[in-house]
Amino acid sequence: MTQPNQPPTQINIELPADLEATYSNFAIINHSPSEIVIDFARLLPNVPKAKVHARIVMTPLNAKLLLRALQDNLAKYEERFGEVRVPSDTGFEAPDRTLGFKH
């Protein structure tokens, strides 16, 4: 945090040219008194297990700051592209839809 009347510190972020993006559609979150652990995995159709591709460990403070940043970015996303709808409590299965041709 910066003190009043003090400019924020600029941080230079290095993004390696060979860094590969990892897709995740499933996360497992655990915690201890001092850490939050997020495992990012991929679930594939008709495959009964998910493989974890990345594990991020952070302090509870950093997890809370990440939560705020995600909330802010999702609000901006929804403002531009519309509401992201979450499936009901009945599960994450896709609703019955008719795809393709109709009679």
Predicted local distance difference test score (pLDDT) of residue 71:
98
Predicted local distance difference test score (pLDDT) of residue 67:
97
Global pTM exceeds 0.85: no
Count of alpha carbons within 13 angstroms of residue 98, beta-carbon side: 3
Count of H helices and E strands in the chain? 1, 3
Provide the residue-wise pLDDT of the chain in tens; the chain has 103 residues: 556 778 888 999 999 999 999 999 999 999 999 999 999 999 999 999 999 999 999 999 999 999 999 999 999 999 999 999 888 765 656 555 555 565 5
Predicted local distance difference test score (pLDDT) of residue 3:
65
Predicted local distance difference test score (pLDDT) of residue 100:
54
Predicted local distance difference test score (pLDDT) of residue 33:
96
Predicted local distance difference test score (pLDDT) of residue 86:
86
Q: What is the DSSP letter of 38?
A: E
Domain ranges of the chain: 26-81
Nearest residue to 53 via CA among 66, 40, 62, 65: 40
Diameter over CA atoms, the chain: 69
Give the gyration radius of the chain's Cα atoms: 19
- Residue 101, CA distances (Å) to 32, 87, 94, 97, 98 in order: 52, 26, 19, 12, 8
Predicted local distance difference test score (pLDDT) of residue 27:
95
